[in-house]
Structures are given as C-alpha cells and as structure tokens.
Amino acid sequence: MLSYTTLVGKNIVTIGLDATPLTVPTGGVARYTLELARALTIHFPEHEYWLLSDQPFPAVDLPGLHTGTGPRTLPERKWWLWGVQQEMTRRRVDLFHGTDFSVPYLPLRPSVMTLHDLSPWLDRRWQPDASRIRRRTAILLRTGIPTMVITPSEAVRRAAIDRFHLSADRVVAVPLAASEQFRPVDQAPPATPYFLFVGTIEPRKNVAALIEAWREVRKSHAVDLVIAGRTRSDASPIAPESGLRLVGAVPDRELPGLYSGALAVVYPSLYEGFGLPVLEAMQCGAVVIASRDPAIMEVAGDGALLLDATDGKAMAAALCAVAEQPEKFAGLRDRARRRAAEFSWQRTAQLTTEVYETARRIFRQ
C-alpha cells in the first residue's frame, strides 16, 4: 500500500469524499454532500475528487468528479477497516472526507469528519436506528482518529468539543448554504393560501405540534398546511384531514415555487445542527417561523421569526398573525434575503479546503 508520505509532494491533491449519503434520495446530508462536491469541483478544479462508497449511488455528472468502484473482494466488504483503504490506494487519494459521521478506522492518511449534529446522543427517540453511529463515531472522535472535524455551526462545534473532549483547534465550524436555485419565484397567488413545512418527517422535527397549531388557525382562517418531505420509518402516522396536504418528497426544482408561494414556511424543529430548509426559504424571500434552537438562531439571524418550539400557543399566534396581515411581514422577507446572501457554497468550499490543508499539515507533523 502506498504511504501518505509518498503523496504529499504532489501539486494536485486528491480528495476522497464519502458518497454514502447519496444513496438516500433526499435529506440534508445528501444535499450537503452533493453541493459540497459541486462547489469543490467548480472553485478548486486544480484538485481531484473521488466519490467513494461501498454502496451503489446515483451517478453524479460533474466535471472533475470521479466515482470509485467500491469493494472488489470479500475482505474489502469490511469497508471502513479495509475496503476504503484499498480503494484510496487505487485512486491515489491523499485525504479522506467523511461527509456523514465516519472516517476510515486506520489513520493511514489525513481525514476530516463532518459531524452534522449531536442528535444521535441527545435523545435516542430522535435517532432510534443510529446505534452504530452512537457507538462508532464516539469511539473515532474520542481516540482522535479524524485529523480534523467539521461542524455546520458554532453551536454544534461547542457541544462536540464538550461532549467528546476534543481539542478546540481540531474542530472548525463551516456553515452550509442554500443552492443558487433557491430564489424568489414570481407566480400567481395560490388558489388557497398555505403554510409550508419542508424536511424529513421524523420525531425531532416536531411536525405534530405544527399540525396542532395550524388547526387552531384553521378555525378562523381558510389556510392549508402543506407538508413536503419523505417520511422516515419511525415517524408517527399523519392522518388525512381537510386542508392538510401531504405531498411527500418534492424535487428540488419545485421547492423554490413552494417556498415563494407560502404565507409562511414553518420549521419548528426541536433540535438542529444547521437547519438548511430555513436558509433555503429565507433565500426565496419567504416569511420563516422557526424554533429558537441555537443552530437555527445562528443561521437565521434577524431573518426569521423565532419562537419556543414547545409553546403551541405561541406558534398558533404567529401563524394567525401572518394569516391575518401578511403585508406586515414584508420587512421580514427583506431581512431574510439579506441574511441568506451572507451564505454561499463557494464560501463553504473555501473553508472546507482550508480544513483539508490544515489536516494535511497536522498529519505530516
């Protein structure tokens, strides 16, 4: 196997990106992996990038982005122990970026782990199928296997340092961004006004509380509630009722129109690492009502109306205020667009590349 020290002198750095999140058609981690890969290839084309996974994933057609072949032999099926090492040797990968809570078990090359949030450890009801992450990721972090750790917000960075006893100079907050396709859409008003939720339907998204608050508003205002997103297997069933529209996972190309046409986009999550739908909606100039979660507060700034996600009365009152006098929230829409303009995938790629450089430097020491 080629050692890392034989590769560091190359002018071109070859980065391996964990493509496993792309096996899921929607969700924030898949969006992060794809958008980061796109931004890296566009803004840092002097380097090479490989998508690596032991599972099949849809083809990604981006210049400068290559796809690995996955395990070739029975031993390579032990992916994180052996298979990924063999694949990186074949592709002459200099550094591995684990985009979803993991890195190779053997630190033969520098590695960067993205720790999206701490939900697997905070409440097992939020991530009942994450026992492997709870066990494996915690061991990797506490034994210092990742050379560097990326978090999407300072809130998660501080929590990760505290929980896993990480060295502060090895953890960097790199904010995400909304894709450039999320822009205000000029369209005819919908036949029936609607509030909108976008995201995976799972316990910590607090969708049941949103439905209860909407029902209160519905008693006096003819406003629908549109819930867009795939339903995770552990989510409580949502019974159909008049005005409640469950539209499932929506293609990205349709989301800007949904965001732009909503009376308000409501995101009452109990916990987030970043809250990408909040930023997408803000970039479309939507009125955003979201929970006063530390990461969401960090992202939204003054561009959203923030409230206690456990206060159903406050949520209903906020929805009612928008339904009664939507014109009064024009200023909030303007602030949302200004705040969203502070984020970009180019900046995310730049900061991520700086983390790569730091990881390579530390590994050589």
Domains 4-177+345-364 and 194-340 share a fold: yes
Query: Element (H or E) spanning 73, and its range?
Result: none
The answer to whether 140 and 105 are in contact (CB under 8 A) is yes
Q: Are 240 and 213 in contact (CB under 8 A)?
A: no
Pick the closest to residue 201 from 246, 232, 245 (CA basis): 232
Rounded distance between C-alpha atoms, residue 182 and residue 191, angstroms = 23
Residue 175 neighbours by CB distance under 10 Å: 19
Q: Name the 3-class secondary structure at 287.
A: coil
The whole-number pLDDT of residue 9 equals 44
Which parts of the chain register pLDDT below 70? 1-11
Q: Positive or negative CA dihedral for 363, 9, 354, 96?
A: negative
Backbone dihedral angles phi then psi of residue 62, each to the nearest 5 degrees? -135, 130
pTM for the predicted model, two decimal places: 0.92
Which residues have C-beta within 8 Å of that of residue 108, sequence separation ≥ 6? 1, 3, 4, 85
pLDDT tens digits along 220-237: 999 999 999 999 988 999
What are 300-324's pLDDT values in tens digits? 999 999 999 999 999 999 999 999 9
Tell me the residue type at 220. S
CA 328 to chain centre: 31
Is the alpha carbon torsion for 305, 308, 314, 319 positive or negative? positive
Rounded Cα gap, residues 348 and 146, in angstroms:
19
- Residue 2: the pLDDT is 34
282 vs 183: CA distance, rounded Å = 9
Predicted confidence at residue 127, as pLDDT, reads: 86
What's the CATH fold of domain 4-177+345-364? Rossmann fold (3.40.50)
Domain ranges of the chain: 4-177+345-364, 194-340
CA 245 to chain centre: 24
Phi, psi of 151 (to 5 degrees): -120, 155
For residues 286 and 274, what is the distance between their CA atoms, to the nearest angstrom? 18
To 5 degrees, how large is the angle CA 98–CA 153–CA 305?
Answer: 135
The CATH T-level fold of domain 194-340 is Rossmann fold (3.40.50)
